[in-house]
Structure 1
Amino acid sequence: MKRNTTPVYYGDYLQLDKLLGAQSLESAKYGEPAHDEMLFIIVHQVYELWFKQVLHELNAVIDTFIPDQVKDQQLIGVVHRLNRIIQIQQLMNDQISVMETMTPQQFLSFRDLLVPASGFQSIQFKRLEISLGLKREYRIDFDKQSFYNRLTDDDRSLLEALEEKPSLFELIERWLERLPLLKMDNFDFWQHYQNATDELLNQDKQTIETNATLSEKEKQQELKDWQSTRENFDALFNAKRYDALQSEGKFRLNQKAMLSALFIKQYSEEPIFNLPFQVITALTEIDEKLTIWRYRHAMMVQRMLGTKIGTGGSSGHQYLKKTTESNRIFSDFFNMATFLLPKDMLPPLPDEISRYLGFYLSADKTK
């Protein structure tokens, strides 16, 4: 174990002179300093520090998934880092409550002095979004147009280069594609699954048709929704239909990755699928926490500005509200609940399949 040869002083180690001297109030340049501008600055500086830590963890996870082979032992570290990100996200979400102790009028006392600075210009947050998988083509129209408009040339070049690298979403998709789909001589899970879903969906249809509490109009709407669900199920095993729904934005994962993730979720209690399931669950929660952050941010902006535009020129609350649902990354993992079967409808895995998968998941045999 290494030991230091010279004493370390707390303030020097943390560079507190730099850190605590980095709050320069813009309002002080024009007269009496606005008291709440200090809070505004510190809250956003803390966000940036947490963004730095999240990127540190996220980049390590991405590096793990870049090779063609990912061992079970590596997934333990991945899950640990993803769970750390989740805890940091929770802190960031809670931090909005601190910002909300500032009233709209207190914010207005310095707000107009910040134009055109904006959260749009947080390079670390943009790096975080891109690295997770929210690249330009997946953004809402306003975001596509403005994404790079307010940045310096150096920052723009950095983000454009990052867009060309594989995101975590893309790497997870490739990882899922490499997992087996369990169609062997003596066991065809997907045929069993199709038979079971046909039975389940037919029961659902009969329930709707025989429900005396529904009006004819309500019944027709329920049947229309049922038909849409039926088509989504059918598309899982029809490449052409799946690709069509994917092009419409119904799915983002490709068909093979979707089926692999679905299988992992169906057999999540099997030891051999425990770590992959934890990875999927953690990514789902990261997406959820990010969505909550966007929503709370949108509500805070509405509370502070009402319908005023943001300092960066966006429509403020309305823009942020749109990004809450539109800028999702792992929504397929949420929607996968649609396709899950009850445990009592699942076939048990034969012993030879369990042994095969135990080896398969710890060493890449796809080539």
Structure 2
Amino acid sequence: MKKNVDPCYYGDYLQLDKLLSAQHLQSAKYGEPAHDETLFIIVHQVYELWFKQILHELSSVIDVFSAQQVKDQQLTTVVHRLKRVISIQGLLNDQISVMETMSPQEFLAFRDYLVPASGFQSIQFKMLEIGLGLKREFRIDFDKQSFYNRLEQKDRDFLEALEKKDSLFELTQRWLERLPLLEFDDFKFWALYRQATDKMLASDEAIIQGNPTLSEKDRRQELRELQSTRDTFAALWDEQEYSNWQSQGHFRLSQRALLAALFINQYNEEPLFNLPYQFITCLTEIDEKLTIWRYRHAMMVQRMLGGKIGTGGSSGHEYLKRTTESNRIFKDFFNMATFMLPKAALPELPANVKGQLGFVMVGL
């Protein structure tokens, strides 16, 4: 790399004159400036800067998965960049603690001057949600109706165009669907796996039936829950039943994609599956940290506003609390634990199957 010809000065490089003069207090327009409004502005500006970096990383990952093939070297880079996103999310979550140093009265000193501005209008955050896979049809009803109606037309047009592009969820699903479902000659993996799960569930039932500490009411309840687990397993093997469950919102991933993800997770110690496993784990952690951010944001809003409406017209805390669980993206990866077996109970992969997988997986 050649050295720069012109000297680089710290303040000029970071454009600190623009950055440090970008805090304009609304309260100052109407009288005495509210002391804590500076904190409020800076915290949200920092959020937007980190959103920009997350979008930069996410865009590069989407580019990789938009291609016909995802090579191992690319998957290494993808995992590295997603781990960076996870680290940034940790900072975003911790930043809420800084905001919580402001008391409700200190916030109320300038809050009404912000109407109708709202976090609803963060275009970058909406880009992040859409890019990950939280498009309008997957939002709660209130969110579907209000997703764009607080935005200027140019922003609305931009986001609606973005929704037509493939999200990371959709690209990940296609990538998983390209994994063969392990039917090689006389080795039928999923038939063996189903036998192992039936044995596990039968063992669970025997434990419930033989537990002397359970009352009859508790025993019936646990047996009902076990039957629900059996029904979930049954849906996993049956294409039509899976489709029914999917239409009811129990699954979002296609059956083939979920089975592939389950196989990768079960055999994650195999060198061939380690990077795919890390990728799936990263998506799970991103969804978890996004959910934690929503939850902490909801708690902060309740602490600051109680039952008051938000500046953007939403129901404030109540709305945010509902989105915490509803606006999940990779929930199937969390629920996959339902279908996991202990290592000792897994069907052993024959050497010839491992060899064939090694050949087939190179193109993923």
Q: TM over 0.5, yes or no?
A: yes
Pairwise CA distance, 1:75: 0.2
Judge which range, 62-71 or 208-217, deviates more: 208-217
Match of 1:60? 60
* One-letter code aligned to 2:204: D
Within 5 Å, give how 1:303-318 maps onto structure 2.
303-318=303-318
Match of 1:280? 280
Pairwise CA distance, 1:218: 1.7
Distance 2:269 2:186 in 1: 22
Match of 1:234? 234
Using structure 2 for the length normalisation, give the TM-score: 0.99
Pairwise CA distance, 1:237: 1.1
Match of 1:208? 208
Judge which range, 10-19 or 353-362, deviates more: 353-362
Match of 1:87? 87
Within 5 Å, give how 1:1-367 maps onto structure 2.
1-364=1-364
Pairwise CA distance, 1:181: 1.2
> Aligned to 1:236, what secondary structure does the other structure show?
helix
Distance 1:208 1:42 in 2: 55
Distance 2:15 2:160 in 1: 32
Contact 1:208 1:223 (8 Å CA) reproduced: yes
Pairwise CA distance, 1:312: 0.5
Pairwise CA distance, 1:353: 1.6
* One-letter code aligned to 1:217: K
* One-letter code aligned to 1:5: V
Q: Which runs of 4+ in 1 moved over 4 A?
A: none
* One-letter code aligned to 1:159: L
* One-letter code aligned to 1:65: F
Contact 1:71 1:361 (8 Å CA) reproduced: no
Contact 1:235 1:241 (8 Å CA) reproduced: yes
> Aligned to 2:237, what secondary structure does the other structure show?
coil
* One-letter code aligned to 1:338: T
* One-letter code aligned to 1:262: L
> Aligned to 2:275, what secondary structure does the other structure show?
helix
Pairwise CA distance, 1:209: 2.0
> Aligned to 1:73, what secondary structure does the other structure show?
helix
Contact 1:104 1:304 (8 Å CA) reproduced: yes
Judge which range, 200-209 or 80-89, deviates more: 200-209
Pairwise CA distance, 1:351: 1.7
Distance 2:223 2:103 in 1: 49
* One-letter code aligned to 2:282: A
Pairwise CA distance, 1:210: 2.2
Pairwise CA distance, 1:246: 0.5
Pairwise CA distance, 1:293: 0.2
Contact 1:72 1:361 (8 Å CA) reproduced: no
Distance 2:215 2:2 in 1: 75
Count of matched residue positions in the alignment of Structure 1 and Structure 2 = 364
Identity across the alignment (%): 71
Pairwise CA distance, 1:359: 2.2
> Aligned to 1:117, what secondary structure does the other structure show?
coil
Distance 2:299 2:278 in 1: 31
Contact 1:133 1:169 (8 Å CA) reproduced: yes
Judge which range, 341-350 or 109-118, deviates more: 341-350
Pairwise CA distance, 1:221: 1.6
Pairwise CA distance, 1:217: 1.9
Distance 1:213 1:17 in 2: 70
1:171-201 per-position Cα deviation (integer Å, ceiling 9, x unaligned) = 0000000011111113221111000000000
Contact 1:55 1:128 (8 Å CA) reproduced: yes
Using structure 1 for the length normalisation, give the TM-score: 0.98
Pairwise CA distance, 1:322: 0.5
Pairwise CA distance, 1:55: 0.2
Pairwise CA distance, 1:141: 0.9
* One-letter code aligned to 2:184: M
Pairwise CA distance, 1:350: 1.6
Q: Give the aligned CA root-mean-square deviation in angstroms.
A: 0.8
